[in-house]
Amino acid sequence: MWMNARTLVKLHPDDGGTIKLKRQDLLGTRVRPADDDFGFKLQVRKGKKKTWHEGPEARRFAGSILPRMNSMGGTKEIVQGAVHEIEALGHPERFLLDVAAGDRFQDKKGVPGYINKMPKATKLALEMALHEEQERRALEGELWLLEQAWREAEEIADISDNLFLPEGTEDFIQEHRESRAEGEGSAPEARPADADPARQPDAKRA
């Protein structure tokens, strides 16, 4: 009774507040497909109240709930089975979409998608796939921020380079750069042999 009365997970929705989940609440967690970039939504049950969460919030909540549902860990065989389930679909993202789809993992009333009804290897694989996807998305976000920082740095450098130049300098440079390129591209005119001072006879000798 004491274990069942404990708060095991605290969720913080984007719209504010806190959802405190106990053991019985965790057993009501469901995953279903969603038409967004993340591919699945999560149902959280608090007592008799059920709420759906999508997008980054769904992944964040699932990332908090699953470690509690897998708190006992797993044997070597279960871990190997979890890895095999992800590898069988080729990518953690595809595994997440596959787990959320279909009519598997039903309760007694035939309602699908209950994490609690998944085999231990599948529950562990779900946690592993979520963790891997979170790391990948975080890395992509960091790379995007780095790219933005470089772009901003280049813009600042360009501004500082031109800060003390008089107006019209860039146009002047570009115009003369093009003229020079055209001059280098044309062949030099042939000069008559007698026009070359080196070929002229010495006047005194003449």
pLDDT digits (tens, 9 = 90+) for 83-109: 999 999 998 889 999 999 989 999 999
DSSP string covering 126-171, please?
HHHHHHHHHHHHHHHHHHHHHHHHHHHHHHHHHHHHHTTSPTTHHH
pLDDT of amino acid 182: 64
Query: For residue 12, what are its two tokens?
Result: 């913080």
pLDDT of amino acid 206: 41
| pTM (2 d.p.) | 0.64
Query: For residue 123, what are its two tokens?
Result: 């529950």
CA dist., res. 68 & res. 115, Å (int):
12
Q: Give me the phi and psi of 45, to 5 degrees please.
A: -115, 125
pLDDT of amino acid 69: 92
pLDDT digits (tens, 9 = 90+) for 58-91: 989 998 999 999 987 778 999 999 999 999 999 8
Below-50 pLDDT ranges, the chain: 198, 203-206
pLDDT of amino acid 203: 45
pLDDT of amino acid 38: 78
pLDDT of amino acid 72: 75
